[in-house]
Structure 1
Amino acid sequence: MHATLDNGEQSPVNQAGLCLLSLDGGGVRGLSTLFILKSIMDGLNKIRTPGSPRVKPCDVFDLIGGTSTGGIIAIMLGRLEMDVDECIKAYVKLTERVFKEKKHWIPLGYNFDIKSRFKQSELKAAILEVLAEHGADEHTLLNDGRDRKCKVFVCATVQATAGITQLRSYELRDRSNISATICEAALATSAATSFFDPVSIGPYTFVDGAFGANNPVEYVEEEASSIWCPETELKPLVKTFISIGTGVPSTQGIDGNALKIHATLASIVTETERTEQKFIRRWAGHFNQHRYFRFNVQQGLQTVGLEEYEQQELIRSVTEGYIAHLDCTSRRKKCVENLVQKQEKTPLNFAKIQADYEEELYKRIPFNHNIPFQANERFVDRENEISQLEEVLFSESPCYRVAITGLGGIGKTQIALQLAHRTYREREGYAVFWIQATSIESVQKSYAEIAAKLNLPGWDDEDSDVKTLLKDYLNTRAGKWLLIFDNADDYPMWDTKSTGKAESDRLSDFLPQSEHGRIIFTTRFKQVAKCLANRVIEVHELDEKSAKDLLCQHLSPSLLKNENEIVLLLRQLAFLPLAIVQAASFIEANELTCISEYRKLLDRPEQEVIDLLSTDFEADGRYNGLKNPVVTTWLVSFEHICKKPSSLAAQYLSFAACIEPKDIPISLLPPARTPMDKTSAIGILKSFSFVTQDITNNSLTIHRLVHLATRNWLRQQNSPSKMSLTSSCKSALETMHIDFPCDEPENRQKWRAYMPHALRLLQADETQNMIDRYRILLRVGGCLFKDGRTKEAVSFVEELVRWLENNYDQTHARRLKAEYELAILYKADGQHEKALNLFQHVVNVETGILPKDDPEFLASQHGLASAYRTNGQVKSALRLLEHIVRVKGGIYAEDHRTLLASQHTLAKVYQADKQIKPALQLLEHVVEVKRRSFAEDHPSRLSSEHQLALVYEEDNQSERAFELLQHIVKERKKLFPKEHFCLLASQHSLAIVYFKQEQTDKALKLMQHVVAVRQRVLSENHPSRIKSEGILESFNEIIKRGNIGEARLQSMSEIDTGYE
């Protein structure tokens, strides 16, 4: 039913709306079509006003279209204006005459060409007999120029192109209108391949229209649109649309070769029913409102051949059984009730008549918005986003569907709310409708409420689908409108692929489409945004100014005096609007005296911070019954991602929760089965706005508060079958153990990217007793040391050694390796006595268990010798190193790293023993070999070059020393942070050379820098710090005395030069 005006005037559709009839092809089974149509017409005539004349199909239907034998029936009913009983008699007679005698029993020629099995002459004679009985002849045109009450067309297929053509009883503008007689049209539409010969009409040769259009319902729709509404939508004009099948599947495609025709026919078998299903989906509103009907016998006719005229009684019996079935009886009753209202034929200007009526109806409907919240008076500047939305939605080339996406709590709903009020207030004629899209139930409820307030016909009918009612209304009769779906986060309810539901169940099918309408979706899920919208606008955190404005809107002026505290709080809250509003609510509700009190709460242990961020609060523009806390707003997303613990996205989210939230290298993520799987998993996290991706360094960053909330969510998952924070940390530690690199220079970039995440894992309470923790401590310590973070390295390796001492015998290789590395760190940290003692312990243990030429034993002896040198035991160092170099020289090639390292250290000992010439000779050899083997910036090469520069200086080759030191400082600046001990050592030495060259300003500036850094990073008693402080003091004293040229400075050789 359609709405009525206040004066009781009914919609024109009720009395003059289009009635359309579509008839499938099916040979003798066309009788089934006629029996079904007879039951409808008999029912209609039965309930018409007593005494009124019986009506025929041509009196009721404005357009009848048919294919093949359905086309012949369409001509009989519409063009010859026969009633159904007459048509049945004529059709029975025609099929008996045509199919009684075969022209060829085997439809194959010598070249396997198709040969027609039945005589076309018999079909033509049978058609002419029917024409003669109704005042027509062979030359009577299908379109004779008269304006008849029922328009008719039949489908035929052009053999050359396999394209469908309509032969019409009327003329259409801008279409090809083939002039055909009634007889030609009937022959053309029924010229079934292998049954009858093709039919020629003028330059065209036609075959059976059933090829590709056996169910012609879409062609009926197309023809009706072309006749009555070529520029507007057809559906609002249709009162009743009936499609009747023959229970027989149809065909598509044509080939003249018999060997191919079987495959062609087999591939088309489901075309008729597929067309039916597709059409019902598109016309779901009419179908649900009982304005579109499809009748087709489902069982019993499959075995009846197209030509088996002797099966008439079976066709009648099966069809009558179908008609008597409860479902068919109910639908037929509603069909008749609809048809009986038809009082007059539909005029050609009916689209304008209906549009005028609906415009008047719309003017009288007071309801034009259901915006759920008042405009937010404390809304802060999001003008960029709102202006962008307005430009996209309302420009001359508009985008009809737009999605606003972003992290939960970022302010998507508030932006949509402001736009809704602005549109309603400032854009004349726009209705604004708001749908709460948190679930299918909430969408259904919102649709129902809007339909009820609009008083849409059928809104209170239990059999009606309000979603379809509102969709059709917005599509056709609502004027200009803006429709907002807020919180459209549930992807499965929009898309059937993710649920396996029937395609008719997906919510996206109920979205209206009109050139006068616009739709906005707010969603935290980019996958939903891309599925539903043509344009996606992403909302980010507030900038500092807007965040301040938002906080100021919600706090008393007395709390806003300290600008620095405001900025610090906003940074802690990551400029997230919902977190800012929640913080302000807590501060006001608990009468805190200053912002710093709340900041102190945010600095409390992690669980307390989570409790704070989980506090519920009242806020403008939030739904009743939905929790507001910033942490709670992400729980649904967590559950969605992690509902399958085995999913890669869930693994990545839990992994990210265990490490640093910023700059997570994608290469560090747990392994995926394929690169595509990894990309897809990252895409899911990005689609929820949980992470952002930095393409330049190939890393991800998880939002700080999301990181905190994810950790809390994982902490609460206590079930063994679920992910928990402990199990996630264990998995992350396993991944780190596999991926964290060793401290080779070529791995520097990688370990620096991984280091913050490894440290976060190692410092976590959950990992303190995990075995994998102790498997990476040594690598982490080694890399920290190579980056100049010696004290941190010492701490981690000391922990490892303690654990190994408690779990392994002193002779165990892993324990000895760790003790050796710790001794190196002690030496670098200036703890020379500890280094010496530990090296001696390792060497003593290995003496009893390893051969004299074992690489590990030689390395330990090398370390001990180096410790002797540092501790002033030069002669002991010299003896041991000369022994080591001899042994290694007999084992390794001259460019072997371990041999070069011992030669380097021996040269340092020669220098310390004032044997400058041997030191110089050995270092020049080492540097020459390393220059052949290592890159210019290799740390080991730079270290030996540095040592060589010091020996040059002692050998009075100052210019060579100066050039070499300048090069070393330049390369180490590119390689190391400014706190690195190697860089500081070379700067220390260069400053001394500057001073000796009387470049005092450069010398002072550089040494002051070295002293300042070392005072910041080294203990007061560290030898390197003490020496630099002493040199600086000497600089100042010499400058003060004014005798720079005569000055003698402490030897530079006392300063460590870097890696050995």
Structure 2
Amino acid sequence: MLGRLRMSTAEALAEYDAFAQKIFSFRNRRLSLSAKFGAAALEVAVRNIVQSRGANPLMRDPKENYATGKTFVCAVTAKNQTAPRRFRGYVLDDELDLDYDKDWDKDCMIWQAARATTAAPGFFKSVSILSGSVKEEFLDAAMGYNNPIGEVLDEAGKIIDSSCKIGCVLSLGTGTREKGLNESCCDLSWCIKVICLMKNITTDSERMHDMAKNRFTDFSSTYFRFSVPEAAAKVKLGQYKKMDGLKKTTLEYLGSSVKSDIDKVINVLSNGSTEGLTIGEACCPQPQASRREAGVSSKFFTGRADILRKMSVFFKKRESGKGPRREFLLHGMGGVGKTQIALKFRQMMDSEDRFEHIFWIDSTSTATIEESYNGIAAKLFADEEGADKRMLHVLKWMDAAREDWMLVMDNCADDDMARFLPEKDKGNIIYTSRFTNMRQALPPDAIAEVNEMEERDAVTLLLRAAGEGANSRSVGLRNNGLPIVKELGCLPLAIDQAGAYVREAWPPCSLQDYLVKFRKERARMLKNGGGHYQGASRQNQAVYATFELSHKALQAIAKGKKGLAMAEAARMAIKILSAICFYHNEGILEEMVERAAENRHECDLREHNPLQSGRLSLEDLLDVDQNHTWDPRKFRSGASLLESLSLVKRDWNSLSMHVLVHSWARDRMKDADRAFFSKSARTLMYHSIPFLNTPTCVLFRRRMLPHVVVCDEVVQVRDDDEIEESSFEMRMALVASDAGWWDESIRMWKSAIRSQQLELTLDHRATLDTMVKLSEVYKSMGRWVEANNLLLEIVERRRHDLGDLHPRTHLAWNALVQLHIRIGNVKEALEVLETMLEVGAANPDLDMESVRSIMLDCQKRIAIAECMNHNGPITAPLCKSEARKREENLWTEYEKSAFAYGEDTNETLDIMSKLVMAVLEQSRGHCAEIIAKEALRRCEARFGPDHHRTAELLGHLALAYTGQLNCEQAVYWQEQSVRRLISCVGTENLDTTVATQLLNEWTILRDRHRALRKSVNKTRAWLISQGGQAKADDLGECLNMLRRGCCDGIYGHFWLYQRLGIQQPQAVEEAVEEESLILMGKQICSEITVE
């Protein structure tokens, strides 16, 4: 009435009151459980209203008078109540794509639509309506569609220009109802209540309201819903006599809490105001993100039963955690389906629970392997979500795990994979590779050669991918598909592409039509493709031709042949594909686009560095809303369309593509397009990389490493603006530093400095800031001379340009002081600090207290060294309770640092050094040894054996042995520490001086112990010769007690290994299991030499 018949609200209410009395009257009641009221009275009432309005009886308005809006009502067919059908009062665009015939209701009458949408089960019987040449039974759409807000948004997305801005979305409900049970019992009345509750839940309107509310969360003045609480429970469908009471309740509701929302609606409708949300953003279908470890196999996966069977037998179930390691190779050319087989096998193993853990590694390069292990760590260590644990930690976990695990090394490009695998002979590994060299190390039963598909399976795959899975046994369809799979060389990747094209193409494309198109496209591609495809194999030529057809399908949709929203999605899809092919083909992050969009807006980079050139542009992918937040809808709609054509795969918040799609997407571009998209992709990537060092920023930079490496290789171009190029180089340097690629980081910092020097001069603030960053890298690498010289230059330039009193000059001085302290040049640090105090007195804004505090610490260190030279006391030891409290604080800092920055960074290693000293102060020498050894191992792995920090940790390990009275080991490790300190910082350095003095003292103590041991052994031999075996045994027991005393607290070592995340020795593990402190003491005592 309000829509098709164009009635006013008052007219519609009056007409409803009049015919409700007729159709819900006692005279119209029927003695039937399926229909309480006669449908004929309803049909007559509607016909009379239509006639009185002088309207055309067709539901579709032939005059196309849509000035006051377009309306539709919903009903469902009796055969399929999960998909509502829309009875429209308007004519659809001829080019609109629907899942069913858009002209199915062209002859539908208004009264028929009214009957269908009011055919509520239990009130009115269903109605038969002619749909084309077939009659269908219709019911109302109350079961799941009482609130049609989802249908409204979907329809708007199809028929309205996606760029149109929304004023408001207004939802008017018929009232809420209770959805609960007040008591629990088993009598008939309670069962009836349960049935009523189920009905209320299935017809509930609030569920769809919640969905719409979530969609418009960020637009508080766009979506509104008004529904009187409990009204649906108070007034049933046929209770028209209660209408006056319902009106009264409604007026009370409208005058209360919803008044402010009503005022907002009035403002929108009267003033045409909008929050800027467009139809495309609100109504385009949005993908539901789901996080998967490595994705799932294609839903069209077909065949390969023989290979899967062979793998299942090879990896038969066995006792958890036992060896030996089982390794299996899937070998074959690109596009033949190796990864899909591995994914399918992974799903099979998941369903059988054969392995406790199945991990997936992208083995394309070292960078992708490391990033994959970081992702595994985030899953393994759920209590530290987002932590970057690095590869070594995960490998250690695998070695120590009692469960049986499987590791899939996908796309191996190198036969030397051992350095990326756990050390112990346990676990299960699947390799996929195009290269033959991996075959040599494996027996025949551990290798599966993956060749082209069998023709029968290939045809089945084609039909499934083309949407004909239900008819895959049809002889006619199979005959039509056979020549296609032959042309495609039975290659799964090409067949999947072909099926996706047939399924998604517009206008529709049959299998016969596809074969003709494919042959023409391949001929055209080989004739006009230049050098890109001429040398490709026959199989790859087939794949490339299928890609080209899919790309043409995108272009056709982009021209508007499939509806405005779909056209917009297709344009986005083409842009996304053209940009992401310049990154690594796996794990292309949506977060990268988000960060780039918001950073470009915040820093006003769009004006200075636009991603636009003539007809080509990526700017619309990076649009932000009024809150300066990137809206992902355009990106996701384009990515969803690419996925439907099998050009990409989507995994949680990232995209991936096959390596052949990856190379094809670049190779197919014309020179001008390639120049634009390669440069734009590089710019977008670097604008996403943050300068901040927060944990999330560091983690993001590490995840970007594979893309930076690939982009740097394939995009051989620099930005015309030297300053912009220097910012890119600085971002690249940060990524390299986070990955431990120190030489590459130094190269990029130096390149950035050269670029800034050309544009800004060396004395410019930005150039000097970049030089400070370079000095920090030098410090991290232990290249003290370069760091010192660079900081001296920075200090002098700032003094000359800014003066001695400028805060930035003092920052440079402070950096120089910290460097001197770090390498033990404390006297030189004191000289700089004295200069800072002297000149800083004239500027009250400078913080001189911190300078004095650092100065005092330096003086203490010098005093300690002098005391050691005179054999004086070094420090007053802390009491054990204070030391224990300090240790707990350090453990907290350690966990935060390992979580945020990684376990082998400078920050974390500093804390581990302090932990060694904290546990030594509690006389727990063996604990100190464990921590020191683990810190030393991490340091050598990251910085190398000749680094200054490695030399320091060798000294800490020596200290740990002194805490166990093991002077032999203490002297050995201290000698190593002194030797490396002399190599790093020289003999005159304070650290070298202190270490040498300690070595001298411990050497003297070791010699005394050797003499004591010799004396004790002689005494025992003499006692035994004199028949004093008992006393000899007593003497031996005294020595054993001494040894056990040195191992005080060994029972608590189990938690220490766990806390450090390292594998505990078998002896410790067994002792904890048996809860035997004495056994542990004897085991350790037999291994420690103590005098």
Does TM, scored on the shorter chain, surpass 0.5?
Answer: no
Indicate the structure (1 or 2) with the bigger Cα radius of gyration. 1
Give the TM-score normalised by structure 2. Answer: 0.38
